[in-house]
Amino acid sequence: MSETAKIILDGKEYELPVITGTENEKAIDISNLRSMSGYITLDTGYKNTGATTSAITFLDGEKGILHYRGYSIEELAEKASFTEVAYLLLDGELPTQKQLEDFNNEIKIHTLVNEDLQNIFKSFPTGSHPMGQLISMMSALSAYYPKSLDPNRSDEQKRRTMLRLIAKMPTLCAMIYKKRTGHPFIYPNNKLDYVSNFLNMTFKHVSDEYEVDPVYVDAMNKLLILHADHEQNCSASTVRLVGSSHASLYASIAAGVAALWGPLHGGANQQVLEMLEQIKADGGDVAKFINKAKDKNDPFRLMGFGHRVYKNFDPRAKIIKKACDDVLNKLGINDPILEIAKKLEEVALKDSYFVERKLYPNVDFYSGIIYRAMGFPTDMFTVMFALGRLPGWIAQWKEMTKEGQPIGRPRQIYTGNNLRPFVEINKR
């Protein structure tokens, strides 16, 4: 006997189906509510509304649980490589050794970007924000692959576009970094693995040899895995919504990058570092900034704290915090910013304002400290988030298109003027 929910509207009882997920999450299916009753539901910010079913990522905000395709984020971060996790997100199963080798080789075929894209970089003002550049480059890629403009052209074309994006994103992210420094671009080196190739394109100087540090490679793999997907977050929902209009995958990903840029979302990792630097410059008085964050009249917020879903520790933050200690110790870096972050966390987690609101450190709170230790400038942090999140966005888009979901088009409740006659301008 399937479960149902009953509601009474204008004295009439309606029975709606209840659906249960594989982790026993429950939802009232309101797909037919309006046709049955004329009513819609209202949930600004979608805090209680599911947009889709999905088999990609499961998270439990109360318990601080995160699984990709059923595998725990703790195990994946510890034991897998980033392209292995990308394969898992896209295809639903962990690859065999041969499948992973083939996948890595398929990616290597597409690591180069068209030389003409360098001209676009020349048009960006020096110092322009890397995320603005990345949005443009994601969209610009579609200009070179006109067959990709029809996302439903063929499965083979879809897969090629997915591989091109995964292969070219590191190349473009490294070019964005080189644009900042004014140094020549470094071409992909397909003898290197995915992460090592990205670090080489980023940090190698055209006139010098460059040895990729295994500490960086391990930290980078971990960080990219931890950012790879997070179910229906703001940017993934944006990718799905844009993709539901049958715009190209490049356009959908460009939209996802744009959504991620916001300081309440992926842009928070840049804001966290700037906040920690502000606290350090102000003398390190953590209590002063905790009070500012609590003051409703003060716009200051504790960036990297709080989460729409996690009302317990963000499991990614725990892993990144430990990786922070490991990486800085291995690199022999004693970063006072890390000490300020730890002090901030310690004081906040004892403060009733944060405890009552279940505000814990999220994925963005510690990630920037590692990026900085590796040499990335603060305004590149969200680009790194996008590099990690790309396979998740693609997996969400692939699932949505495979299911043939309809164009996303939410309803509203109108609160404007009722019908009124036009008034000639000389009578207003």
Q: Which is nearer to ligand SDX, 81 or 271 (CB)?
A: 271
Q: Does 304 bind ligand SDX (CB under 6 A)?
A: yes
One of 240, 307, 321, 398 touching ligand SDX (CB under 6 A): 307
**Number of chain positions touching ligand SDX (CB under 6 A):** 21
Site membership for ligand SDX, residue 359 (CB under 6 A): yes
User: Which position among 129, 229, 265, 364 bears the catalytic label?
Assistant: 364
**CA nearest to 42, candidates 409, 411, 415, 408:** 411
- Footprint of ligand SDX on residues 338-357 (CB under 6 A)? 357
Distance between CA atoms of 174 and 187, rounded to whole angstroms?
9
Q: Least distance (Å) from ligand SDX to the CB of residue 161?
A: 23
Residue 292 touching ligand SDX (CB under 6 A): no
**For residues 141, 144, 149 and 155, what is the CA-based torsion angle, rounded to 10 degrees?**
-90
Catalytic residue among 230, 265, 307, 314: 307
- When the beta carbons of 301 and 330 are compared against ligand SDX, the nearer one is 301
**Is 307 an annotated catalytic residue?**
yes
Tell me, residue by residue from 268 to 287, as one string, x for binding to ligand SDX by CB under 6 A and - for no binding.
x-------------------
Residue 4, H or E segment: strand 4-9
Going along 48-189, which residue ranges are E strands? Answer: 57-60, 65-68, 71-72
Site string for ligand SDX, 245-264 (x = CB under 6 A): -------------------x
Q: Is 332 helix (H, G, I), strand (E, B) or coil?
A: coil
Q: State yes or no: residue 362 binds ligand SDX (CB under 6 A).
A: yes
Task: DSSP for 185-197, please give it.
Answer: P----TTS-HHHH
Report CA-CA distances (Å) from 46 to 219, 256, 383.
Answer: 34, 17, 26
Comparing every residue's Cβ against ligand SDX, the nearest one is 306
**364-374 and 315-331 helices cross at what angle (nearest 10)?**
20
* Binding test (CB under 6 A) with ligand SDX, winner from 256, 306, 315, 368: 306
User: Residue 187 and residue 410: Cα distance in Å, rounded?
Assistant: 44
Distance, CA of 305 to CA of 355 (rounded, Å): 12
Asked whether position 363 contacts ligand SDX by CB under 6 A, the answer is yes
Q: Does the annotation mark 183 as catalytic?
A: no
Minimum distance of ligand SDX from residue 59's CB (angstroms) = 8
Bridge-based pairing state of the strands 57-60 and 4-9 = unpaired
In whole angstroms, the minimum distance from the beta carbon of 316 to ligand SDX comes to 7
Q: Quick one: tokens of 143? A: 């200009």
- Regarding 233 and contact with ligand SDX (CB under 6 A), the answer is yes
- State which of positions 76-135 bind ligand SDX (CB under 6 A): none
382 scored as a contact of ligand SDX (CB under 6 A): no
The only residue of 301, 330, 342, 343 in contact with ligand SDX, by rule CB under 6 A: 301
Helix pair 214-226, 364-374: axis angle to 10 deg: 150
Compute the least distance from the CB of residue 414 to ligand SDX, in Å: 24
Over the range 73-97, which residues count as b (16 or more CB within 10 Å of their CB) and which as e?
beebbeebbbbbbbbbbbeeebbee
C-beta separation of 111 from 171 below 8 A: yes
Among 86, 173, 249, 364, binds ligand SDX (CB under 6 A): 364
Q: Which amino acid would we find at residue 58?
A: F
Closest distance of CB 20 from ligand SDX, Å: 22
Residue 49 is given by DSSP the state -
Among 113, 212, 286, 303, binds ligand SDX (CB under 6 A): 303
Per-residue interface string for the shown chain with ligand SDX, residues 213-232, x marking contact by CB under 6 A: -----------------x--
- Which two three-digit tokens encode residue 76? 């994946």
The residues of the shown chain that bind ligand SDX, judged by CB under 6 A, are: 230, 233, 264-266, 268, 293, 301-309, 357, 359, 362-364
List the catalytic residues: 307, 364
